[in-house]
């Protein structure tokens, strides 16, 4: 089956799809011995010989999806220039290269999804697909109904108005309380900034759900591979969101353009007045 060239390169695990597009444009990719620079080029991985910098692509690895319960004190990246612990230290035994779908702060914990499928990862993170992420949060003080209403409508941050959130009170103590917040965006430190905006700094934050996935009883610091059912649910979620967006775009293109108003009828020209009598006399003299 034919597939876009940049996707074939990305699926091989060599680089991301965006980087693959750059390499194609730079002339570093050949198909059957011919340099290809067109990003829309389609190839059949089973028939066509694709090379990058003169080297054949490796066989496409199997699709991998795994869930990690990240503890506090770990960077959610695969490496850290400052030498701090990263989630790579927790992925002992994972033979294939995987990368995180989104991030959690150093002092946050909870569910992280990792995969080697770049296209699915991008779709899960894109705000237009509205993939829900749910957090269990301990905050200072107790949120009022007015503050919850503000969060549910969207609050103004320095990078713009947030989308609507779903907020539930869980329990409260003397000075602090627990709330559950579900959002569909992924801005940096978004949930913390939202709560600070309404006057309740975050003390503890745990992501408990991502899309159709639930952290459940996965121990902190451990990971597990998704079941076939869970992986298929993710694929189906992405596919349904993509189809919905495509249908919306198609519908907007089918809307008939507004009809132009009919211009008002021009007023009839007045009839020409009869020639003066003196012109009639001159005309008779010439004819005589």
Residues noted as catalytic? 105
Using an 8 Å Cβ cutoff, are 178 and 171 in contact?
yes
Rounded to whole angstroms, the Cα distance separating 106 from 87 reads 10
Using an 8 Å Cβ cutoff, are 113 and 131 in contact?
no
Using an 8 Å Cβ cutoff, are 61 and 21 in contact?
no
* Residue environment code for 47-59, b if the CB has 16+ CB neighbours within 10 A, otherwise e: eeebebeeeebee
Rounded to whole angstroms, the Cα distance separating 110 from 181 reads 14
Beta strands in 105-201 (DSSP E): 109-115, 133-140, 156-157, 160-161, 166-172, 176-183
Residues 6+ apart with CB under 8 A from 223: 66, 67, 68, 69, 90, 91, 94, 114
Distances (CA, A) of 248 to 39, 185, 196, 244: 25, 20, 35, 6
The torsion angle over the Cα atoms of residues 245, 186, 137 and 206, rounded to 10 degrees, is 100
């Amino acid at each position: 089956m034919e597939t876009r060239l940049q996707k074939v390169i990305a699926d091989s695990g060599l680089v991301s799809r965006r980087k693959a597009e750059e390499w194609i444009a730079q002339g570093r990719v050949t198909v059957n011995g011919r340099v290809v620079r067109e990003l829309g080029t389609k190839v059949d991985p089973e028939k066509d010989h694709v090379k990058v910098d003169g080297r054949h692509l490796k066989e496409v690895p199997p699709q991998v999806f795994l869930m990690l319960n990240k503890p506090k004190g770990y960077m959610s990246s695969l490496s850290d220039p400052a030498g701090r612990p990263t989630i790579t230290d927790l992925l002992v035994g994972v033979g294939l290269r995987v990368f995180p779908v989104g991030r959690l702060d150093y002092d946050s914990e909870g569910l992280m999804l990792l995969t080697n499928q770049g296209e699915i990862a991008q779709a899960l993170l894109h705000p237009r697909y509205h993939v829900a992420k749910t957090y269990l949060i301990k905050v200072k003080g107790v949120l009022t109904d007015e503050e919850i209403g503000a969060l549910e409508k969207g609050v103004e941050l320095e990078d713009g108005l947030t989308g609507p959130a779903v907020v539930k009170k869980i329990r409260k103590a003397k000075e602090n309380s627990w709330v559950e917040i579900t959002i569909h965006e992924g801005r940096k430190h978004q949930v913390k900034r939202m709560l600070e905006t309404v006057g309740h700094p975050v003390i503890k934050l745990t992501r408990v759900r991502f899309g159709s996935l639930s952290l459940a009883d996965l121990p902190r610091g451990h990971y597990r591979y998704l079941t076939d059912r869970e992986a298929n649910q993710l694929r189906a979620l992405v596919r349904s969101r993509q189809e919905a967006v495509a249908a919306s775009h198609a519908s907007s293109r089918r809307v008939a353009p507004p009809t132009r108003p009919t211009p008002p009828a021009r007023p009839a020209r007045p009839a020409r007045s009869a020639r003066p009598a003196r012109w009639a006399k001159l005309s008779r003299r010439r004819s005589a």
